[in-house]
Amino acid sequence: MEIWINPACSKCRAAVSLLDAEGAEYTVRRYLEEVPGEDEIREVLARLGLEPWDITRTREAVARELGVGQWPRDAAARDRWITALAEHPKLIQRPIITADDGTAVVGRTEEAVREALSRTGDA
């Protein structure tokens, strides 16, 4: 299991604390430093079952600068969104937990983190 975090994020810290409390085995990825490429973002989106706009932090300053709030949310615009996430990783919602069963969750709640744990057999 891997968790994409920003250490400054309280939701990320809470998720890591819960994983630790449950004795889960995981790898931490500081995705602002080890930035995922477009292909990796596509893979994580497939694992999440979401579209890029579903994991975009639209209230970030860079999102406003780019005008993502006005971008179409359709198949034709999908690559534009993915490119923006790769070029501006601060836009990626966090934390993202990739489970051992090939799925992933956005672990912003305790329930979501526990869901990831249940998919790994560590719960």
Distance (Å, whole) CA 55 – CA 57: 7
d(CA 33, CA 48): 22
From the candidates 4, 8, 9, 84, which is the catalytic residue? 9
User: What's phi and psi for 2, nearest 5 deg?
Assistant: -130, 145
What's the CA gap between 8 and 6, in Å, rounded? 5
What string of DSSP letters covers 15-84? HHHHHHHTT---EEEETTTS---HHHHHHHHHHHT--GGGGB-TTSHHHHHHTGGGS--SGGGHHHHHHH
| Residue 12 is among the residues annotated as catalytic for this protein | no
Active site residues: 9
